[in-house]
Structure 1
Amino acid sequence: MIMTARMINKEMNGKKLTPPIIEFLKGPWYDSIQLLALTKGFNSEECFQTVKMTETIVWTYQPFESEDEESLQKEKQRLYRIIEHIPDEVRELLVALEHKTESSEAALEDIESEHVTVISEQELKYEDFSLIETGEQAFGQGTSVSRILLKKVNSLQPGQWFTFEEDKVSARIKLVLKIEDIQQLLFTNCNGMKVLEKSFDELAYYFPASVIKPLTHEEVFTSTFTSYYQGLVEKFEKDRKQAAEYRVEADREEAEQEAASKEAIAKAKAAALEKEQQELEREERLTNAREEAAKEENIEKVEELTGTVKALNVGAWLKLPGADGVMEECKLAVKIAAVDKMIFVSRSGVKIGEYSTKKLVQLLVAGEGVIDDGGVEFEGILAQVVTKLRQDRNKSYGDLTGS
């Protein structure tokens, strides 16, 4: 994280440090602050404390600068008080972050050892060092930033909006964080996502190149209103398209229901017409049969068939015209003598028709019906059963079983 590296570099730059503290600051300490910045935020109270802690740790390694004895003694007393607590405070922070490692503990032991050297007023072995690599553009010696540009950068305030154009990328960005201590600026896009992080010097060079330009409140409002209005238009178009699709679907379903209803009505009408036609044909057959039976030459035949029909028993099989007029096998299923009604059904149990004795005789005379089987008379069967029981009553068990 660039901001962490810049903070540590700022405290280390130009200072005298020993190899153990250099390794600690650039290693475990740098990693721990990065972790803290990610979990708590770089602008949090915890990160602010680590900045002060870094400043204090580096200060404990610097040679005394006071010339008069009184000031020198005060500096030493302050140093002794601070040195006593630094290792424990650093350990507490590492434990809280769950980032305590063997390397960090070894570095702290070396730091404690060097602090003992300081308290003993022995000289520390300083070493030249390089700062933490940030990957930022390096400005060579002699490169200076215009005071006017730096003043412009220093006047920027969090909440301001800018246009940013670089490498064919164009966006509107907002300054959300300005850290004076480490001269760092953080920008986000309209969705609050980080898009740019620059130092004051780097941003100052962007202004004359027109890479970044501040937006006025009016421009920000216009942009926001345009985006909002465009969003409304897109939502309206989407809703209208969806409504049109629903309407088409509803019309299709309505058309299908209407077609199905018309088809059902047509079928019902056709069935009614067919039934009516069949009834007319049946009446015509009965009329023809009645006229045929009324002829003088058929008087004897009528009398003969009348006796035969009256003698029909339930279960008798005949051939009679069905609903379509075609002769069909049917059985006498019900015979009600009191009202002179006979009901005939097909082999599958479907009703074929019902006739009186007179109408059935007329059909038979006209050749519209044929008797195949008169059926077994129930009274005859009952008489046979009773006679058999009477005969068996006087027989022994052996005679009945044949043993």
Structure 2
Amino acid sequence: MFRPLPLFIGLRYTRAKRRNHFISFISGTSMVGLTLGVSVLIIVLSVMNGFDRELKQRVLGMVPHATITAAGGGIEDWEELVTTIPEKEGIEAAAPFVDAQGMLTNGDQVRGTLVYGVDPGYEKKVSIITDHMKQGALEDLKPGEFGILLGEILANYLGVSVGDKVTMVLPEASVNLAGVLPRLKRFTVVGTFSVGADVDGNLAYAHREDLARFLRVPEGVTGIRLKMDDLFAAPKLAWDVAVTLPGRYYVQDWTRTHGRLFQAIQMEKTMVGLLLTLIVAVAAFNIVSTLVMVVTDKQGDIAILRTFGASPKMIMGIFMVQGSLIGVIGTLLGVALGIIGALNVSEIVSALEKFLGIHFLSPDVYFISYLPSELMWQDIMVISVSGLLMSFLATLYPAWRASRTQPAEALRYE
């Protein structure tokens, strides 16, 4: 079987026992460092991908992709609009809504809340709430009964459960014979939901007709919520829809309400990836010190090979093979550990939380209450190629230095 001489000798040097054990230690350290750097980079980027995915699926599954609201008053012909708007390319569904910002109170507990008045039949087409109900169902919101669905965190904060009453207070006052009084209404809790994000602590749902009556919206709808096939097309599609409608409308999309969070995750992924790549680079370039010491240790062998007719190019290839093998083994082990870690990081962190009795991602503080992970093969390819390339580059100088060895000088003291 044909095997080039530089490859044969390079592999032979790699398998042979070192006379200098310190060189073996440095070589092993370089390999372990490269393995850890590559595996940590894969795991961290997978977690970043997981947060990105959860932002799109969970948070943006609850908040509107885009909304169209009337500039003054309500929307009269909303039944026709929610039927015709989804016919436009790129728009998956539309649903009417009434929204209000106010306070929900129960006893001494008060919490600022965004309340959506929805029609259950339409809402399940544009929201993922039906998949995350803990108690009750979206269909339990019936007109005239003034029922309300609360996020699980919000319900726990107010200390209520299904069947209890909460009071909604609007930030405005009404004047009557008794004087100036705040506008308030009692609602009955008919269910709770949990999506594992901060919306569980500040979002509630009521029936559209009940909330419209409380807000005194005669048309019954203040806006239309849109669900897009492509999230990133939401700003343009919502605007295209609004300009075709008669009258004046305000357009808002998720890039205004949650765009900064999405951009922050993207920037964090880029910066963290860059920093961890530097760690991989440091581990890869430890190969330089390993090969420099190997070259010094093998001066006599190099001189003998040169005497037998080995060219500088062949000597350079021998040590490039030896250094590249360290990079290949370290990178492949790192990729294997990284894949295993990325696929199981959520379970590992969950088990660690139970063991320590600590919740690392509190839903009161963070958008997502657990550590998500999504392994992307393009990330693995980029990391693998980068690790191998840096390992290869690290072998060039020591190998070139070995090729410059002069036989007479090397054998003078042998």
TM-score, length-scaled by structure 1: 0.22
Structure number with greater CO (CA < 8 Å, separation at least 6) is 2
Larger Rg: 1
Q: TM-score, with normalisation over the residues of structure 2?
A: 0.21
Q: Going by fraction, where is strand more abundant, 1 or 2?
A: 2
